[in-house]
Structures are given as C-alpha cells and as structure tokens.
Amino acid sequence: MSKQFDVIVIGGGPGGYIAAIRAAQLGKNVACVDEWKNSAGGPALGGTCTNTGCIPSKALLQSSEHFDHASHHFADHGIAVKGLSMDSAKMVARKDAVVKQNNDGILYLFKKNKVSFFHGRASFVKAVEGAALTGAAQGYEIKVAGAAEETLLAQQVIVATGSTARALPGAPFDETQVLSNEGALALTAVPKKLGLIGSGVIGLEMGSVWRRLGAEVTILEGLPTFLGAVDEQIAKEAHKAFVKQGLKIELGVTVGEVKVAKKGVSVAWTNAKGEAQKLDVDKLIVSIGRVPNTTGLNAQAVGLQLDERGAIVVDGDCRTNLPGVWAVGDVVRGPMLAHKAEEEGVAVAERIAGQHGHVNFNTIPWVIYTSPEIAWVGRTEQQLKADGVAYKAGTFPFLANGRARALGDTTGMVKMLADASTDEILGVHIVGPMASELIAECVVAMEFRASSEDIARICHAHPTLSESTREAALAVDKRTLNF
C-alpha cells in the first residue's frame, strides 16, 4: 500500500531538510527520505554538511585552533602552560558528539513540523496519473529501500541528493590512506606527513587543521594561481599568511602516479618548471572538487534530464524538465555551498505553495574557514576589470584596528569595491579574524543595494572588528580615520 504526500523531498542535507520544513510550514503534507547512517546504523540527517563537511570540520578547526593558541599565543598573554598535550581521539569524539547533536536536532525539527521521515534510499519508479493519486492529476511513485521498504506517491518531488568527492584518476579513495573529506575528518591520530591534492576550500581547511596539530603539510595545486576565484589582493595576503604558518603550497603542478603502499603514499608530480618531483606522505587527502550525486536515483525511469557532469538540469527557479520535479543544492548548477542549497530549498517550497520564492545569486557569501578566515561577497577586482566596470577600491588593514590588536590577531584586511559613479557596493573581500561573521553586514548592504557612503555613515560599535568594514568604506572615498 503506497503512502501519498503533497511533496516528497529526496535527501536530508541543508537543501532537502530545509525545503521539507518550509513546505510543511506552508501547509503541505511532506515526506523526506534520506539514507545516511550513523555508526550504529541509525539515521544521520543533515547530509554532507552535517556529517562529513561544514559541521565536523568547524569542530576540528576550533579544537586545533585552541591547541595552536595554547602552544604559541598564550605566552603573549602571560599564560604559561606546562605539559601541553593533544588527545586527538578525544578531539574526534567531541567532533562526533557535535555532529550527533545536529543530526538529532533535524529529527526533532521534522517532528515539530510534522515532516514524515523515511530512512533509506529513494529512487524514481514511474510517473503516475489519475486514479493512483488522490486529488492530483499527475505525480510520481518513489520507492524507498532501506530499513523499511516503502512506496510513496506525490505530485511534487524535490531532489536534493548533494555531491560526492571527485577521485583522482588511478587513486581511488580507500579512506585509510587516500582520503576524501570523509576520511580526512575521521583521522584519529595526527599524521606526521600529510599531502593534499588541490588547494581549494577543503584542501586549505583540512591542511590548516592537521598542520596546527603538528603534521607537516604539503599541498599540490594544479593551477598556477593561488585561490583563483578569490580577489587577487586577498588571495596574496592569505597565501603569505599560510606559508608563514608552515603550509607548503606548490602551484602549477601536474600530479602523476600515486602509489599506495602498506604504510604511506607516494605521489609523483612535476613542478611548474617541468621538473619531476616525489612526495612521500603518511596520508593523502584528495580535494579536487565534487561531483553531483545522482547514482541510484533511477532518473532514467522518469526521463529526468542530467547534463554531461551528471548534474540535474534546472532553470533559474530550480525546475527540472519534468512537471512537478525540482532539484536544489549541490546536485544542480551553481556553487556547492550549504547556504546556497538552503536558499534554493526555501524558494522551491514557496513556489510549490504558490508563493514567489527568490534566490539572489549575486549576494551569496563565500567563506573559507582557515586562520585567517577568508570571506567575500560580490565581484572581485579582477572580475570588475574583466567586465569593464569603472570602480573605486578602499582597503583597511586589521593592523590598524584596536580590537584586532587586543585579540592579538592583526593579519589581513577588509577591501570594499564600489561603482565609480553610483558608489553602489559591488563586492567586499575580507581576509582576517572572524571574516565569516563580518561578511554578513556586507551581504545585507549589497542586498539593500547600499553605497559605500551608507556604510561609512553608519555607527559601528567600538572596539569591534566591524569598524574595519566601516573604515574600508571610508577608504573608498579616501577618508579613513584610523589609517
């Protein structure tokens, strides 16, 4: 006997679970299907973000930052620590507990919002019409395979199946020596030598965690430029800070054969000058991007259109080629960011309910949670040049900010870019302490199409890091007060 819903959401990550909650808030009868299992075989809602991404990586970043502070910075404050040690197993257990709180939190939210949860893998069976569906002319039959076998029916289906790590050809993930984000977050001991392929977001965040805990970290990056998508001035400043901390970053490399032995991994690579090199490490993290996850969805059974990368083809409103089928998050075009998936999930739920959901792709913030953090919104200086836009730039270094000095963290700057004639803010780029929090003000400003003068005239509390954003705005008009 099949169970009928108004909306079935496939995937319980940030895109899926948020879409399910929003649709339920709008009065829909909603089911969400997710197959992720915790170590006891139970449900682990929250997808990659909660289980092997944003949340566990931030837990480990926090632990490793505390250790780094105790090792290197407490002494500046007059705090002496004798016999400092790191229990990495305990650190990992804490991280697991944080993940579980988030998993359980989503289960609680489903109960609160009356979303029916099914633990298992969902796949399309067929499109159904008329008699099989009560109250709807057309819909879909979805099979759930898992702890309980179920057949579900709904007029509307939201696919939010996320993405999986892309493997290096010839070096499949074994998650003991060749690691994806999953294995990188499950290491229980600090590797002496750690190699990373790809100096993107995951490479830098994971490299930072394990370097702070004492690993010797080498990152091999294929592109000749460091963090090509980041504003050049900000990327340069970040590169300088990472190298100073001891991260070895090799740019413009070609990775060759990867040999996995009983103990350790050996990577043959060629440097930018074309010279053959070898990197021997205990563990290798491969972070060269992610691929949309549509395996097992049985998309062909209903004719759901995928592109050459395996992503579900959608329009600007997340509509697929099938009536009543939507897709959001990493499984569709656009940046693979949890908050972008959430925005799309909310907008789709609202469209299903007849409202006008909207996502502004121009104001999606980016954050790289390294130390210093890197965060930005809007266009970079190089993009403005390429687009032929006349702009003004203002920068303010944290070195001149009182709160940053008191914190003992004066690396980096805030950089604001504004239109040369209208003064509208076109982009804000930050490298430095708490950049992830500081960027929120800039996103709000850009959403409201503020000018740099607007930010310059707003009272910012003293002493705060946010004064640097105001000073960067003042710098656009060449009238900083503290620099």
The number of angstroms, rounded, from the C-alpha of 342 to the middle of its chain's C-alpha atoms is 12
- Is 200 a binding residue for ligand NAI by CB under 6 A? The answer is yes
With respect to ligand NAI, which residue has the nearer C-beta, 181 or 411? 181
> Using the rule CB under 6 A, which residue among 230, 288, 393, 425 binds ligand NAI?
288
Residue 147, CA atoms < 13 Å, CB-side half-sphere: 12
Helix (H) or strand (E) holding 416: strand 413-419
The values of phi and psi at residue 455, to 5°, are -70, -40
Count of other CB atoms within 10 angstroms of residue 395: 20
Q: Among residues 67, 140, 369, 391, which is the contact residue for ligand NAI, using CB under 6 A?
A: 369
Nearer to ligand NAI, 208 or 469 (CB): 208
201 binds ligand NAI (CB under 6 A): yes
Minimum CB distance to ligand NAI smaller for 198 or for 378: 198
Between the alpha carbon of residue 463 and those of residues 116, 360, 402, 438, the distances in Å are: 48, 32, 6, 14
Establish whether 356 is a catalytic residue. no
Lay out the site mask for ligand NAI across 248-277 (x = CB under 6 A, - = otherwise): -------x----------------------
Contacts with ligand NAI in 119-158 (CB under 6 A)?
none
* Distance (Å, whole) CA 342 – CA 48: 13
Which of 290, 415, 429, 470 touches ligand NAI by CB under 6 A?
A: 290
The residue from 73, 119, 356, 462 that is catalytic is: 462
**Binding mask of the shown chain, residues 217 to 236, with x at each position contacting ligand NAI by CB under 6 A:** ---xxxx-------------
CA atoms of 267 and 29, how far apart (whole Å): 52
Burial of 149: CB neighbours in 10 Å, binned 0-12, 13-18, 19+:
exposed
Nearer to ligand NAI, 223 or 406 (CB): 223
Closest to ligand NAI by CB, 53 or 394 = 53
Least Å distance, CB 235 to ligand NAI, is 11
By CB under 6 A, how many residues form the interface with ligand NAI?
25
Residues 8-22, buried b or exposed e (16+ Cβ, 10 A)?
A: bbbbbbbbbbbbbbb
Count other C-beta atoms under 10 Å from residue 120's C-beta: 18
Shortest reach from residue 170's CB to ligand NAI, in Å:
11
Enumerate residues 45-84 that contact ligand NAI by CB under 6 A.
53
Per CB under 6 A, the list member of 287, 395, 410, 411 interacting with ligand NAI is: 287
DSSP annotation of 166 = P
Report, in this order, helix, strand and coil percent for the chain, each rounded to 5. Answer: 35, 30, 40
Kindly state the smallest distance separating residue 311's Cβ from ligand NAI, in Å. Answer: 12
Binder of ligand NAI out of 337, 426, 456, 473 (CB under 6 A): 337
Minimum gap (Å) between residue 147 Cβ and ligand NAI: 29
The owner of tokens 């009182």 is 402
Q: How far apart are CA 66 and CA 60, in angstroms?
A: 10
State the DSSP H helix or E strand holding residue 3, giving kind and residue range, or none if neither. strand 3-10
Cα separation, 302 vs 407, in Å, equals 57
- Residue 28 vs 290, nearer CB to ligand NAI: 290
Binding mask 180-199 for ligand NAI (x = CB under 6 A): -----------------xxx
- Is residue 172 involved in binding ligand NAI (CB under 6 A)? no
Among 21, 115, 184, 202, binds ligand NAI (CB under 6 A): 202
Find how far residue 257's CA is from the centre of its chain. 29
Residue with nearest beta carbon to ligand NAI: 200
- Site residues (vs ligand NAI, CB under 6 A): 53, 168, 197-203, 205, 220-223, 255, 287-290, 335-337, 367-369
Q: Enumerate the active-site residues.
A: 462
